[in-house]
Structure 1
Amino acid sequence: MTEFPVVEWSEADENRSARWRSESGAPPPKRVTVADDRMTADTAYRLACEGTALLWRGDYQNARQLQQAMARRIDRKPRKPAISPSEAFHFHRQFQSQRARILGMLLLPLEADYAIPLRRAPDVREACMEAYGPAERPSLVSLRELLGLIGAHEWRKKGVEIPALGGRIHPCYGVFSPVRGEYVELVAEAPLPSSELAFDIGTGSGVIAAVLARRGVKHVVATDQDPRALACARENLTRLGLGEQVEIVSANLFPAGRAPLIVCNPPWLPARANSPIEHAIYDPESRMLLGFLGGLAEHLEAGGEGWLILSDLAEHLGLRSREALLAAFDKAGLKVVGRMDVKPTHPRASDASDPLHAARAAEVTSLWRLAVR
């Protein structure tokens, strides 16, 4: 038995195999056919819908054009009408999952050093190294995933400008990027209960810990349980010159001890993640949210505050009610001492063609200031 999934196929009258790479957790395809520049978009789309993966041996840029043509065919299909916001959300997620599955059927080969052995292929070795680690052997990957790796690599090089920091955060592949900066501004503006110590729970890229340190908090303990996030946060804080001020700790939610300020920005939507990468967006059964609230009282110093950063998008989608959120505060022995709100500024909030436009247009992100009752 191998320690990694394998794809098997027949090519040139030979049985072949290669390592299967999928950061989304997709299983290796069971049926694979070799395809090149002669394959039409209609044929590729039909085969992909039937569950047959296409191992591309043609020109790289033609593969990209083929994927775009397949995407247009998917997007032209009529959507099932929804009778409620929650149904619209579930239909949208179902559509996105099916779209990802179909487009994920177009595969590219990677050499042992992550080079793509195709005409006009870009050099993706550094992007693959960042996501997968050291190269070992030839493998297959979906073009869709590979484009995600390339995009993440470019974001990591460019970084995201954070005005509250006077600098940039460089997100890593698989770590949530602070491209929606409105919640960061809330952290930069809320009145600090203390400048001595703060905990940043689920630090991700390290952006909140960095903002707290920039505001003068003498010592920040930033936690996460994802090795990628821990490495990403450490890299960003070092780059910003805050490595001595912020301590990075591997922990499930809280570190040991108490603090006068504890901040958490959990995933905003209580739904099941379809892939490991989606865990930054979806919080099944609100586990992280409820875990933070449930443990806050025993980790806060007397007179301290817990800052919960949460969008109300879930409420507009019918996934969680405001009453349920307030009841969770009450059950955890917490009271609200203040709240700061901000409207989103991202393009989706004004995109009327988005299936979830009504909910996105009404969305408000809040920083809830919580204290022990």
Structure 2
Amino acid sequence: MPDPAFPLIHWSDNGAELSAHWRSEAGVAPPRRVVLADDRTTADAAYRQASEGIALLWRGDFQNARQLLQAMARRIDRKRRKPPASPLDAFNAHRQAQAQRARTLGMLLIPLDAGYAIPLRRAPDVKAACQEVYGDADGPDGVTSVVSLRELLGLIGAHEWRKKGVEIAALGARIHPYYGVFSPVRGEYIELVARAPLPSSALAFDIGTGTGVLAAMLARRGLQRVIATDTDPRALACARENIGRLGLAGQVEVCEADLFPPGRAPLIVCNPPWLPARPSSPIERAVYDPDSRMLSGFLDGLAAHLEPGGEGWLILSDFAEHLGLRTREALQTMIDAAGLKVLGRDDIRPVHPKAADLSDPLHRARALEVTSLWRLGVK
């Protein structure tokens, strides 16, 4: 019986009906219509078929497949779109366009052997990258599988980031992100934690630790003990590896918990996803927080987990406010309803490249964005 975690994808080859396991970290269902493609396939033909929901299983040179994917992306990106009337319209149009782009480019497929070898000319060795994401190289039932080239290139890129790491200036070290775990490439929120006055050096909770970067920052600042929580298995493994690599395992405990660990602490830190919208894939969960569930959960539970006189640090961008997804008044209402008061706030402007990119469809909102560390206490 087929493993429901690995549905089958079917296609025909010279009259023979073939199938393989379908892999999709984004949870995309296997394409229903699949045709074979090779080096003779033109970019116009590939783009037309992909736009119609027809997947192309590549049988040619691997590097030519990469070039074809780039050519398809150029055809998508040069389509002119009507300027939106408001930032919220721009956001909705941008998400719709990104989703359509992902669906279309996801239609170019690559086969994988049971040991994660790509049976194509000039194909790279992707075994290590696939093992980090998919697990055991034998694969399900020891049979071949199929994956979108776009996802495979994402795995390869994530593997390189994991090896090389991201330099964190405030930490004076590198953090090595796993695939699907939010990479700390935006350093402003780390800078806020690095410079905020500590209410105590005894204990801190880091809620939703991700790569463990904020837990490491707190430990480097002299916190005797930090308990870092997350629910995602990859994030937990990633945080433990980073904490161990930095020699901070004696100070930082990484544990699985839905928001708060048991007990109370004089300092509780949380950097929730900044945009109250539904993620279109598991990988987007670090960016999108449906109905502000994590933000609400943190605020509503903070008072019960803070020691008397303690502080909760909420690190939050106001990007959602400039997009029309949440108002400042709504955030203040959430804080008040949780029995909390604002003790202070430290703001910082973003320095990432998109903040100055005039071609970005969300530039109007990005140009106004400010990231803040809200110091919260119990009323």
For the superposition of Structure 1 and Structure 2, which TM-score range results when normalised by the shorter chain? over 0.9
TM-score, normalised to structure 2, is 0.98
What amino acid sits opposite 2:154 in the alignment?
G
Alignment equivalent of 1:218, drawn from 224, 231, 234: 224
1:313 aligns with 2:319: yes
Shift, 1:29, TM fit: 0.3
Paired amino acid for 2:351: T
* Structure 2 residue matching 1:286: 3-state secondary structure: helix
Report the alpha carbon displacement of residue 163 of structure 1 after superposing the two structures with TM.
Answer: 1.7
Matched, 1:35 2:37: yes
8 A contact 1:306–1:369 mirrored in 2: yes
How far off its partner does 1:254 sit?
Answer: 0.3
- State the Cα deviation string for residues 233-267 of structure 1 (Å, max 9, x = none): 00000000001211111011000000000000000
Normalising by structure 1, what TM-score?
0.99
CA distance in structure 1 between the aligned counterparts of 2:218 and 2:170, rounded to whole angstroms: 10
Contact 1:199 1:262 in 2 (8 A): yes
Q: Distance in 1 between matches of 2:266 and 2:10?
A: 56
CA distance in 1, matches of 2:267, 2:301: 13
Partner of residue 78, structure 1: 80
Post-superposition CA distance 1:135-189 (Å, at most 9, x none): 2231100000011001100100110111222211000001000000110010010
Aligned: 1:244 with 2:246: no
For the aligned residue pairs, the C-alpha RMSD in angstroms reads 0.7
Please give the alpha-carbon distance, in whole angstroms, between the structure 2 residues aligned to 1:165 and 1:76.
40
- The answer on 1:107 being equivalent to 2:113 is no
Partner deviation per Cα, 1:193-229 (whole Å, 9 max, x = no partner): 0000000000000000000000000000000000000
User: Is 1:170 aligned to residue 170 of structure 2?
Assistant: no
1:2 aligns to 2:11 (yes or no): no
Partners of 1:80 and 1:91 within 8 A in 2: no
Alignment partner for residue 95 of structure 1, among 94, 97, 114? Answer: 97
Q: Point out where structure 2 has 5 or more consecutive residues left out of the alignment.
A: none
Q: Say whether residues 1:360 and 2:372 are aligned partners.
A: no
Identity level (%): 74
Q: 2:159 aligns with which of 131, 153, 161?
A: 153
Aligned partner of 1:195: which letter?
S
User: Equivalent residue for 2:53?
Assistant: 51
Measured in 2, the distance between the counterparts of 1:2 and 1:348 equals: 44
The equivalent residue for 2:131 is 129
Deviation at 1:12, TM superposition (A): 2.5
Superposed counterparts of 1:137-286, under 5 Å: 137-286=143-292
CA distance in 2, matches of 1:276, 1:241: 30
Partner in structure 2 of residue 331 of structure 1? 337
Q: In structure 1, which of residues 118, 121, 125 is the aligned counterpart of residue 120 of structure 2?
A: 118
Task: State the Cα distance separating 1:80 from its structure 2 match.
Answer: 3.1
Q: Which runs of 5+ in 1 are unaligned?
A: none
**d(CA) in 1 for partners of 2:7, 2:283:** 19
Q: For residue 307 of structure 2, what is the aligned residue in structure 1?
A: 301
Aligned partner of residue 198 in structure 1, secondary structure? strand
